[in-house]
Structure 1
Amino acid sequence: MRALVYHGPGQKAWEEVPDPVITDPGDAVVRVDAVTICGTDLHILKGDVPEVTGGRILGHEAVGTVEEVGPGVRTVEPGDQVLVSCITACGTCRFCRETRYGQCLGGGGWTLGHTIDGTQAEYVRVPFADTSTHPVPAGAAPQDVLMLADILPTGYEVGVLNGGVRPGDVVAVVGAGPIGLSAVMGARLFSPSHVIAVDLADGRLDAARAFGADVTVNNSREDPLPVVREMTGGLGADVTIEAVGVPDAFESAVALARPGGRIANIGVHGRPAALHLEEQWIRDITITTGLVDTFSTPTLMRLITGGQLDAGRFVTHHFALEEFPQAYEVFADAAGTGALKVVLTR
């Protein structure tokens, strides 16, 4: 088969590799029907995730058709169309029993495209298939369901739920890429009074308005702090969500929060970010971090199939699988191309 293989920082290739095979009774081999590229893949290519070594097939999001299952698999069978989650879960360890699947101690967590070969390929081996795949509902568009592999549960769990968004809150989302937009969309489910999106690109701020932000600030031209304080009687936002993964974005998220506010970091950070405790120790703030657990995927699936969430609006570009090099170029130049999520299909 062919796959997108990482060969060290800045190096990747769509090339021939061996087909995946069942290596554990709980495995499934899935034919990839639709797959996408994540901002985390770009962080890997920058060298921000040193655990990913040369020769690794990238990718952790897919919708596909089960080709083969191990003898221990009980809930899926060949021919089933499934969502392949970005998180695999053994289902029995301490953290899995607490629904903290991202911290799985039994060989799961974020493995695909990280510690084992991933989904940016014609076929993928999925460990713990019973607990790491979700059936695609009849009539659901695969590209819509694909958004549930990572970005929607990540924005919802690590941003909105960790940030404790409540009715009437003022929420500031720093970064209006796909993850930030997921946080905007998820925050709206809790009836905040305002959702403020902050980004450097006007095109992404336009998208943020379409996804539910009622105030946008381009921080290449305007300081968001006076804007947020003017809206909140000088206090700051109740909840800020960092969705970029660079030091400036994290420091901005902290500065925008009110005393007693909650700051939810989603971004994948490859460099240190300053936390000015000499200023913050007295402000009663709460800072959360996290890897998505995907416990919310079934709930979000119901919201998509019920029409409450329009996941398809994330998809801006379509490619064939063999066009991975072009898809990466378009996705990496999001400011110039307007790309949110690119979808590659057979």
Structure 2
Amino acid sequence: MRALVYHGPKTKGWDEVPDPGIVQDTDAVVRIDATTICGTDLHILGGDVPETEPGCVLGHEAVGTVTAVGGGVKNRRPGDRVLVSCISACGRCGYCRAGRYGQCRGGGGWILGHLIDGTQAEYTRVPFVDHSTHLVPAGAADEAVLMLADILPTGYEVGVLNGVVRPGDTVAVVGAGPIGLAAILTATLLSPSQVIAVEPVSSRREAAQRFGADVTVGGRADAAVSSVLEATEGLGAEVVIEAVGVPETFELCTRLVRPGGHVANVGVHGRPADLHLEDLWIKDVTITTGLVDTYSTPTLLRLIAAGRLTPEEFVTHRFALEEVVAAYDAFERSAETGALKVVMTR
């Protein structure tokens, strides 16, 4: 089969690789029907994730069809249409039993396209398939469900829920890429009084408005701080969500939060960021970090089935699976192309 293979920083290829097979009795092989590219894939290609070794097939999001299962699989069978989650869960360790699947100590966590071969391929092996996939609701479109493999649960869990958004809060989201937009969209489920998007790219500010932002702010950091303070009677936002993953945006978030507020970091950081405790120690600020656990995926699937969420609106570009290199080019140049999520289909 063919797959998108990581060959080291800044190097990748659509290569011929061996077909995946069953390794553990809890595995399944899934034919990839639709997959997408994540900002984390760009972090890997940028050299920010040294755990990913050359030769690894990239990708951790997919909708596909089960073609084979191991002898220990109980709840999936060939022919099932499934959402492949970005997080694999053994289902047995203490973290999994507490619903913290991203911290799985039984061989799961974020492994697809990171530590083992991933989903940007014609077929992939899915470990712990009973706990790491979700059946696709009848009638649900692949593109809508695919957005629940990573970005929607990530924005919702690591941003909105970790940030403890409450009705009436002001929520500021720094970065209006796919994850930031997912945080904006899912924050509206909890009835904040206003959502402010901080984003330098005009096309993404426009997208933020479509996804539910009440106010959009561009410009430099000082201008963003002034705008948020003006919109919040000089206090700052109750919840600030970092959705970029560079030191400058994290430090900006700590300037936007009000006393007693919450900074929820979602971005993947490849460089150290300064924590200005000389300013923060007196402000009673909570800072959280996290990897998505995907415990919210069943809830989000129900919202799609009920028509309350239409995440296919994230998809701006479509490619055939074998055009994945061109899809990466469009995604990497998003400021020029306007790409939010690019989808490759069989």
Q: Same fold (TM over 0.5)?
A: yes
Alignment-derived partner of residue 154 in structure 1: 154
- Structure 2 residue matching 1:189: 3-state secondary structure: helix
> How do 1:1-346 residues align onto structure 2 when only pairs under 5 Å count?
1-220=1-220, 223-346=223-346
- Describe the superposition over 1:3-22 as per-residue Cα deviations: whole angstroms up to 9, x where unpaired: 00000000000010000010
Which runs of no fewer than 5 residues in structure 1 stay unpaired? none
Q: Could you tell me whether the CA contact under 8 Å between 2:221 and 2:252 is conserved in 1?
A: no
CA distance in 1 between counterparts of 2:174 and 2:20 reads 39
Residue identity matched to 1:316: T
Query: How far did 1:219 drift?
Result: 2.6
Query: How far did 1:222 drift?
Result: 6.8
CA distance in 2 between counterparts of 1:243 and 1:173 reads 7
CA distance in 1 between counterparts of 2:3 and 2:223 reads 43
| Change beyond 3 A, Cα 1:313–1:71 | same
- Structure 2 residue matching 1:55: 3-state secondary structure: coil
CA distance in 2 between counterparts of 1:291 and 1:330 reads 26
Task: Compute the TM-score of the two structures, normalised by the length of structure 1.
Answer: 0.99
Residue identity matched to 1:120: Q
Q: Could you tell me whether the CA contact under 8 Å between 2:27 and 2:128 is conserved in 1?
A: yes
CA distance in 2 between counterparts of 1:12 and 1:223 reads 39
CA distance in 2 between counterparts of 1:219 and 1:168 reads 26
Q: State which drifts further: 304-313 or 292-301.
A: 304-313
- Describe the superposition over 1:284-316 as per-residue Cα deviations: whole angstroms up to 9, x where unpaired: 000000000000000000011111111010000
- Structure 2 residue matching 1:212: 3-state secondary structure: coil
Task: Compute the TM-score of the two structures, normalised by the length of structure 2.
Answer: 0.99
CA distance in 1 between counterparts of 2:227 and 2:244 reads 20
CA distance in 2 between counterparts of 1:221 and 1:25 reads 52
Query: How far did 1:274 drift?
Result: 0.7
Q: Could you tell me whether the CA contact under 8 Å between 2:145 and 2:301 is conserved in 1?
A: yes
- Describe the superposition over 1:34-69 as per-residue Cα deviations: whole angstroms up to 9, x where unpaired: 000000000000000000010000000000000000
| Change beyond 3 A, Cα 1:229–1:82 | same
CA distance in 2 between counterparts of 1:219 and 1:93 reads 46
CA distance in 2 between counterparts of 1:313 and 1:143 reads 9
Residue identity matched to 1:34: A
CA distance in 1 between counterparts of 2:219 and 2:110 reads 32
Q: Could you tell me whether the CA contact under 8 Å between 2:317 and 2:342 is conserved in 1?
A: yes
CA distance in 1 between counterparts of 2:227 and 2:220 reads 14
| Change beyond 3 A, Cα 1:221–1:97 | closer
Residue identity matched to 1:286: T
- Give the ranges of 4+ consecutive aligned residues of structure 1 lying more than 3 Å apart after TM superposition: none
Residue identity matched to 1:166: R
Query: How far did 1:220 drift?
Result: 4.3
Query: How far did 1:221 drift?
Result: 8.7
Q: Could you tell me whether the CA contact under 8 Å between 2:260 and 2:283 is conserved in 1?
A: yes
- Structure 1 residue matching 2:190: 3-state secondary structure: coil
Query: How far did 1:230 drift?
Result: 1.2
CA distance in 1 between counterparts of 2:223 and 2:77 reads 54
Q: Let me know the Cα RMSD of the aligned residues.
A: 0.8
Query: How far did 1:228 drift?
Result: 1.0
CA distance in 2 between counterparts of 1:16 and 1:289 reads 38
Provide the identity percentage. Answer: 68
